[in-house]
């Protein structure tokens, strides 16, 4: 039975113009937009069209009041021809580069605002910014690649739109380094940059690979920490923008590796195409996707079996997932989660200002889902009134009535975690025991261990035999045991549980050898996109 309020909304919706709904949902539609773009448009009618259809990270700027900037620190990359007036936008110090590009006038797509596709014909960039993003990509058509590097790095871009003609918006610059494509669920910056797929990408770039990280869904975090992952051998793309055939052409004769972490139907064509081109496919089983809380309405057991049967290798983060592969007729290589050695081997840092003093029983990670045991968490807090129970992560669906010594600190970037975790007395995994959680390899456990912190957890099969982990059906008792245990040696955990150590068997499974670290890894910066109010989106030059 449909609720009366819902029925009224459905009846009224066709009567409301799309542009009005788009304005009402402006911020909602803009969540996936992470780059600020100032569009140089002097025509009032055209400005209104852009304002109606683009996200709230876009502003319309008039150029009449701008003067030419000093040219000595500017680099012009052009297909040829003149770029008159474009440099005037760089008289604004907040704009890092100006793109002259062929762009169709933006329009609502499925009643949603969207970012227009830009086919650049020239880019004028500050020399320091160009150095920061790794320079101009090699090859005869470097402009789309340079634009992608600027966007990935989070720099503010000025745009001089031109009518569509014949320019190409897709990258054609050759790929240097052994190629890896990671077909992931969420962007690299999701959950503070701490997902398994993001960690694999960081480790592989460090080892000389060219990694293309493709994500199917946007981040659903309410807070964007502004994390930017910058390296010339790292590309990040939404699935809708990924062209597998063109990617193969960019790699020449080198056959790369595909790591598929989610058995989604949307990825089938890309996986098949890369496989037919000679690439090795690894289906990396990381969750029990058959759980509706994880696989939702897209999960198809038959399709997952297809991925298991046709991949060159199957890896699994937990023994229960490996057993699932066995049931489908394949042996899976066990590759549990691990710890980012670069982050967690860093020198000791100052105590974070928002971290309470005294004894700390802590947790970091997701704070939602049926698997999170709020009752067990509350019991731990009540049993330890002298301690502060610190929760790090975006708090959604937190129940009322929790004890007052439970403190929520919000989402943190992964590189900030060591300063918090190293000051925990105990690290917790407050999960309910179920078939879904038995199939989880909690990445946080390895990060606790690498911080020297004993761990309290329920008796999950994936944690059997791990030194420093104290389990029990009663989480309060497990916490008590961990509180009495000695601190751990972080160096031992780093040696046993680093991502480099985990990737060796994955590469061996496809007859590849993992290269040694290069000493040139991904740089992580914080550049948050600005979301503007309606009136702020019109700027006078």
Per-residue pLDDT tens for 455-513?
Answer: 999 999 999 999 999 999 999 999 999 999 999 999 999 999 999 999 999 999 999 98
pLDDT grade for 11, boundaries at 50, 70 and 90: very low
92-117 mean pLDDT: 91
Residue 126 is given by DSSP the state E
pLDDT grade for 370, boundaries at 50, 70 and 90: confident
pLDDT grade for 396, boundaries at 50, 70 and 90: confident
Q: Of 180, 174, 181, whose CA–CA distance to 251 is shortest?
A: 174
Q: What is the 3-state secondary structure (H, E, C) of 295-313?
A: HCCCCCHHHHHHHHHHCCE
Place of tokens 């596709």: 117
In this prediction, residue 6 carries a pLDDT of 41
65-73 mean pLDDT: 79
On whether the CB atoms of residues 219 and 190 are closer than 8 A, the answer is yes
Beta bridge partners of 235: 212
Element (H, E) at 38: strand 37-40
Give the chain's mean pLDDT.
Answer: 91
Per-residue pLDDT tens for 139-153?
Answer: 999 999 999 999 999
On whether the CB atoms of residues 171 and 144 are closer than 8 A, the answer is yes
Residue 78 has pLDDT above 70, yes or no: yes
Phi and psi dihedrals of 37, rounded to 5?
-125, 125
182-186 mean pLDDT: 97
pTM of the prediction? 0.93
Per-residue pLDDT tens for 313-362?
Answer: 999 999 999 999 999 899 999 999 999 999 998 767 899 999 999 999 99
Phi and psi dihedrals of 31, rounded to 5?
-60, -35
Half-sphere exposure of 521 (CA within 13 A, CB side): 16
In this prediction, residue 12 carries a pLDDT of 44
Q: Of 133, 156, 154, 153, whose CA–CA distance to 77 is shortest?
A: 133
Rg (CA), the chain: 25
On whether the CB atoms of residues 391 and 407 are closer than 8 A, the answer is yes
Give the Cα separation of 304 and 308 in Å (integer).
6
Give me the percent of the chain exceeding a pLDDT of 90: 80
For domain 179-338+511-525, is the CATH number 3.40.50.2000?
yes
pLDDT grade for 183, boundaries at 50, 70 and 90: very high
Cα–Cα distances in Å, from 308 out to 242, 316, 334? 23, 11, 14
Residue 8 has pLDDT above 50, yes or no: no
Q: Which residues of 494-532 are buried (b: 16+ CB within 10 A; e: fewer)?
A: beebbbbbbbeebbebbebebbeeeeebbebeebebebb
In this prediction, residue 62 carries a pLDDT of 87
In this prediction, residue 7 carries a pLDDT of 47
In this prediction, residue 453 carries a pLDDT of 97
pLDDT grade for 64, boundaries at 50, 70 and 90: confident
202-230 mean pLDDT: 95
Give the Cα separation of 173 and 112 in Å (integer).
31
288-296 mean pLDDT: 92
Strands 157-162 and 97-102: parallel
3-class SS at 230?
strand
pLDDT grade for 82, boundaries at 50, 70 and 90: low
Enumerate the CATH 3.40.50.2000 domain ranges in the chain, comma separated: 179-338+511-525, 346-496
In this prediction, residue 338 carries a pLDDT of 96
On whether the CB atoms of residues 422 and 348 are closer than 8 A, the answer is yes
Both tokens of 203, joined, read 């480790």
Per-residue pLDDT tens for 234-275?
Answer: 999 999 999 999 999 999 888 999 999 999 999 999 999 999
In this prediction, residue 117 carries a pLDDT of 95
Per-residue pLDDT tens for 15-54?
Answer: 445 554 445 455 556 778 999 999 999 899 999 999 999 9
Helices within 97-185 (DSSP H only)? 127-132, 143-152
Q: Of 538, 344, 304, whose CA–CA distance to 444 is shortest?
A: 344
In this prediction, residue 15 carries a pLDDT of 46
Give the Cα separation of 38 and 186 in Å (integer).
27
On whether the CB atoms of residues 183 and 244 are closer than 8 A, the answer is no
Q: Of 192, 174, 304, 332, whose CA–CA distance to 249 is shortest?
A: 174
- What is the DSSP secondary-structure string of 59-86? EEE--TT--PPPSTTEEEEESSS--TTG
Residue 2 has pLDDT above 50, yes or no: no
In this prediction, residue 84 carries a pLDDT of 67
For domain 346-496, is the CATH number 3.40.50.2000?
yes
Give me the percent of the chain exceeding a pLDDT of 70: 94
Q: Which residues contact 453 (CB under 8 A, 6 or more apart)?
A: 421, 422, 424, 425, 426, 427, 487, 488
């Amino acid at each position: 039975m449909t609720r009366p309020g819902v029925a009224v909304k459905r009846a009224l919706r066709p009567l409301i113009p799309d542009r009005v709904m788009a304005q009402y949902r402006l911020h909602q539609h803009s969540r996936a937009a992470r780059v600020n773009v100032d569009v140089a448009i002097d025509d009032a009618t055209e400005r209104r069209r852009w304002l109606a259809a683009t996200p709230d990270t876009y502003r319309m700027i008039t150029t009449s009041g701008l003067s030419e900037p000093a040219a000595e620190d500017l680099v012009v990359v052009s297909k040829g021809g003149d770029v008159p007036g474009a440099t005037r936008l760089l008289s604004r110090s907040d704009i890092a580069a100006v793109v002259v590009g062929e762009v169709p006038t933006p329009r609502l797509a499925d009643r949603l605002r969207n970012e227009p596709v830009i086919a650049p014909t020239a880019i004028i960039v500050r020399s320091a910014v160009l150095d920061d993003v790794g320079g101009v990509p090699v090859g005869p058509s470097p402009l789309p690649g340079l634009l992608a590097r600027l966007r990935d790095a989070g720099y503010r871009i000025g745009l001089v739109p031109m009518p569509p003609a014949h320019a190409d918006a897709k990258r054609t610059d050759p790929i240097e380094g052994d190629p890896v494509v990671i077909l992931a669920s969420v962007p690299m910056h999701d959950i503070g940059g701490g997902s398994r797929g993001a960690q694999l990408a960081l480790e592989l770039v460090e080892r000389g690979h060219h990694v293309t990280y493709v994500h199917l869904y946007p981040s659903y975090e309410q807070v964007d920490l502004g994390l930017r992952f910058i390296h010339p051998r790292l590309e990040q793309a939404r699935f809708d923008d990924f062209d597998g055939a063109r990617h193969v052409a960019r790699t020449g004769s080198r056959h790369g590796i595909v790591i598929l972490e989610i058995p989604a139907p949307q990825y089938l064509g890309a996986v098949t195409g890369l496989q037919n081109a000679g690439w090795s496919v690894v289906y990396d089983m990381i969750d029990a996707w058959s759980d509706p809380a994880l696989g939702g309405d897209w999960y198809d057991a038959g399709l997952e079996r297809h991925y298991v049967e046709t991949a060159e290798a199957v890896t699994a983060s937990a023994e229960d997932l490996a057993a699932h592969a066995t049931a489908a007729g394949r042996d899976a290589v066990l590759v549990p989660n691990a710890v980012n050695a670069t982050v967690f081997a860093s020198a000791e840092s100052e105590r974070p200002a928002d971290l309470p003093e005294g004894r700390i029983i802590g947790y970091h990670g997701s704070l939602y889902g049926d698997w999170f045991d709020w009752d067990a968490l509350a019991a731990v807090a009540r049993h330890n009134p002298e301690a502060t129970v610190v929760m790090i992560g975006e708090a959604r669906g937190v129940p009322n009535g929790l004890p007052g010594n439970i403190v929520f600190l919000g989402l943190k970037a992964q590189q900030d975690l060591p300063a918090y975790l190293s000051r925990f007395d105990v690290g917790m995994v407050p999960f309910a025991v179920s078939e879904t959680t038995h199939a989880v390899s909690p990445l946080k456990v390895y990060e606790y261990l690498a911080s020297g912190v004993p761990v309290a957890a329920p008796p999950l099969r994936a944690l059997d035999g791990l030194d420093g982990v104290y389990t029990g059906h009663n989480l309060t008792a497990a916490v008590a045991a961990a509180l009495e245990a000695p601190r751990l040696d972080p160096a031992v955990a780093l040696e046993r549980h680093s991502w480099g150590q985990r990737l060796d068997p994955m590469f061996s499974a496809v007859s590849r050898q993992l290269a040694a670290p290069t000493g040139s890894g991904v740089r992580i910066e914080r550049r948050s996109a600005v979301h503007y109010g309606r009136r702020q989106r019109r700027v006078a030059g």
